[in-house]
Amino acid sequence: MLIKNIRNTKKMEDQKEAKLAIYWDFDNIHISVKNLDKKKQKIHYKQEPKVLDITSIMQFVASYGDVSVNKAYADWTSFVNYKESFLDYSVDLIQLFPRGSHSKNGADIRMSLDILDDLNDFPHLTHFCIVGGDSDYIAVAQKIRQHGKYIIGIGAESTSNGYFVKGCNEFKFYKTILAKSGERNSDKILDELKATRDEKKTRKLLKTAVRKLLNQYNTDFVYKAQLKPMIRRLDTRFDEGNYGYRTFTEFINAHNDILDITDGEFDQVIKLKK
């Protein structure tokens, strides 16, 4: 048990020492978040309103370790309202003027090429974060994982491509990041998220994760610390915030109708109720 906890501590230390690169498909994520507000849907502004909480995203990403690369791609002539936020976090703004009759700025191509370059040029990078849920990033996500790096995706739930989500090691929905930020209205967002979840699917996911761990370790119980990583391997989108809970402990305690939870010497011990 002592050895197990030493290993867990070492993992936590390694996580803190992670070196991250963030790439923002800014037009993509801005439009996705703007469309969450029905009053602003499909309205085009000369100067786009500031609807994206840059601070909450940056604080979430920074919780993994040091941000070494931070690049955002867009036609910045429409996003002056974000100026202060980007200055606060030293974001490298890549200007992409629209091309062609459909006003495509080619952010997906340029961003993917830069990610591949950085993947090879900066071997010290351990984590790559793509802000934007476009299907165009499926191939680059695969390439990042092939290099043994950890990829985190961030996007709006309604517009993020399912295959890109599954291609990440971990995918976070924007509203979930806001809900767990502790900022204004976060409790309200948590309540909204809780109301939208399918409890039947949630229970099935929990039971499947516990059973796989029981089979893997040939025991009749699992530790709480083992459970969340297994759930995330089964569903890269998993975050307790998606279900309206601020912590994983709150999440599992809310499902004590199917889980038998007791306090162990170092961690909570979990069994499936019969």
Lowest-confidence region among 46-55, 94-103, 123-132:
94-103
Nearest to 144 by CA among 110, 192, 112: 112
| pLDDT of res. 40 | 64
Task: Judge contact between 202 and 243, C-beta under 8 A.
Answer: yes
Q: Residue 204 corresponds to which amino acid?
A: K
| pLDDT of res. 36 | 82
Contacts 24+ apart (CB under 8 A), 41-49: 45/78, 46/78, 47/78, 47/79, 47/80, 47/81, 48/78, 48/79, 48/81, 49/81
pLDDT tens readout for residues 76-89? 999 999 999 999 99
Please give the mean pLDDT across all residues of the chain: 89
pLDDT at 8 over 80: no
| Domains of the chain as residue ranges with CATH | 17-196 (3.40.50.1010), 197-272 (3.30.420)
At residue 137, what are phi and psi to the nearest 5 degrees?
-100, 5
**Secondary structure class of 151 (helix, strand, coil):** strand
pLDDT tens readout for residues 263-274? 988 899 999 998
pLDDT tens readout for residues 172-223? 999 999 999 987 789 899 999 998 888 999 999 999 999 999 999 999 999 9
Q: What angle do CA 176, 92, 36 make, to 5 degrees?
A: 30
Q: Which pLDDT band, with edges at 50, 70 and 90, does 7 fall under?
A: very low
Range 24-35 average pLDDT = 94
